[in-house]
Amino acid sequence: MAPHVLMIVENLPVPFDRRMWQEATTLLEAGYKVTVICPVGKGYTSLDETINGVRILRHWLPEEGRGALGFIREYAIALFHEFRLALKVWRSDRFDVVHVANPPDVLFLVALPFKLAKVRLVFDHHDLTPELYKEKFGKTGFGHFLMRATEWLTFKAADVVISTNQSYRQIAFDRGGKAPADVFVVRSSPKADQMRTGVVDPAIRARASVILGYVGIMGSQDGIDVLLDILARLISIHQVTDFHAVLIGDGPELEASKQRAVELGLSEHVTFTGYLSGKDLHNALCSIDIGLCPDPYNDYTRRCTMNKIMEYMAFSKPLVQFDLDEGRESAKDASLYAGIHDPDDFARQIMVLINDPAMREHMGKIGRERVEKYLNWSVEAPHLLAAYERALSDRKIGVTTPTARSAAADPGRR
């Protein structure tokens, strides 16, 4: 009988959550049975449906919590629904693995009762919640202590940890006390063949000679405010006016960012598209000349792998970013790097690319080559399967594939 995996994610619906959907379909193709529990949202409101063989159970959640009481309420409601749905699945079709993805770092509580029945727990480490808490609220205190405590408990409960990069893997050792054999790096990478589609949008190209692009969340910790200041510096300091920035994404700071753009005199140089996906996103990425990653340097962002970096490179676009550890590891020579707290230098690096089309083309080719050879899902999928082999290594029901066995030899590579 094929092993059954129950995947639980709280902050995004599936299949909108690209990483979780890629993991689910990869496991399905490898012979696992897969059920996913997630919230509704982003156009996915069916409470029980099967997509491409993956059963998805969804539940309603209140709007994202603000302040301590708001987060407690959100997480309590999520845990209630996740445990309720997990029991529903268990009664009809017992599962062998519970795969939880943070944030938050409390989903291990859903798995604990089932671990008594020898169900394995795989922790898919998406976010550094203690660092994110500190950057979001500007303090540590009791809330930060709770984030560290729940992170530690999640590591201790997990049989196997999946880290999104080498920095996260090191945290699994240092803060989680995990053994190297139990931690696998599975990067969040696109499917390179699917990121080649798209056509240039003439409406975007008509706005200026050089089109800048940003793809990401419009949140307080994502640097969108810094980006607007950088764009204003291009005009006020470098006297550049023949550019337009297409800012793609949604989030809690979207409306404030629009107002800030007006205050900075950027109305004619900036378009906020809101959330885009599929063909619309691909067409927009085909139409830009330079990708922008304004995430500021801090203990959180320097360790994070930004999906936008891979998206720019997949479409052969050079990019500019602050010099963050994992950002440099992802892009290498496909990016120019600004000093970590230097928006003036960021503007200067954009100017370098604006003034050198040949350099843009060369760096774009480097980025696409990195995606095709190293930073795409076909490279990462075997490491996911190796992690599952490890989780089920002492059970006869494990699914074994030659691809997974080969990946297991080097679980910690970048």
User: pLDDT in tens for each of the 414 residues of the chain?
Assistant: 899 999 999 989 999 999 999 999 999 999 999 999 999 987 899 999 999 999 999 999 877 656 667 778 888 999 999 999 999 999 999 999 999 999 999 999 999 999 999 999 999 999 999 998 888 888 888 889 999 999 999 999 999 999 999 999 999 999 999 999 999 999 999 887 777 678 999 999 999 999 999 999 898 778 999 999 999 999 999 999 999 999 999 988 999 999 999 999 999 999 999 999 889 999 999 999 999 999 999 999 999 999 999 999 999 999 999 999 999 999 999 999 999 999 999 999 999 999 999 999 999 999 999 999 999 999 999 999 999 999 999 875 546 554 443 343 343 344
Strand order in the sheet with 270-274: 270-274, 243-248, 210-215, 290-293, 319-322, 335-338
Q: Note the pLDDT of residue 75.
A: 86
Quick check: 233 and 264 in contact, CB under 8 A? no
193-373: CATH homologous superfamily? Glycogen Phosphorylase B; (3.40.50.2000)
Q: How far is CA 198 from CA 20, 211, 279, 287, 387, in A?
A: 24, 16, 6, 9, 34
Q: Which residues contact 63 (CB under 8 A, 6 or more apart)?
A: none
Burial class (CB in 10 A: 0-12, 13-18, 19+), 389: buried
| Phi and psi at residue 229, to the nearest 5° | -65, -40
The matching CATH number, chosen from 3.40.50.1000, 3.10.580.10, 3.40.50.10860, 3.40.50.2000, for 4-189+377-408 is 3.40.50.2000
In this prediction the pTM is: 0.89
Q: Which of 43, 233, 221, 267 is nearest to 129 (CA)?
A: 221
pLDDT for 192: 77
Q: Which two tokens stand for residue 236?
A: 């006020």
Are 3 and 32 contacting, i.e. CB atoms less than 8 angstroms apart?
Answer: yes
**Locate tokens 């080097």: which residue?**
410
**Both structure tokens of 16:** 């909108």
Cis ω before 104 (30° cut-off from 0): yes
Residues of each domain in the chain carrying CATH 3.40.50.2000: 4-189+377-408, 193-373
* Pair type for strands 48-51 and 54-59: antiparallel
pLDDT score, position 209: 97
For residue 72, the model assigns a pLDDT of 80
Task: Tell me whether strands 319-322 and 290-293 are parallel, antiparallel or unpaired.
Answer: parallel
For residue 3, cis peptide bond before it (omega within 30 degrees of 0): no
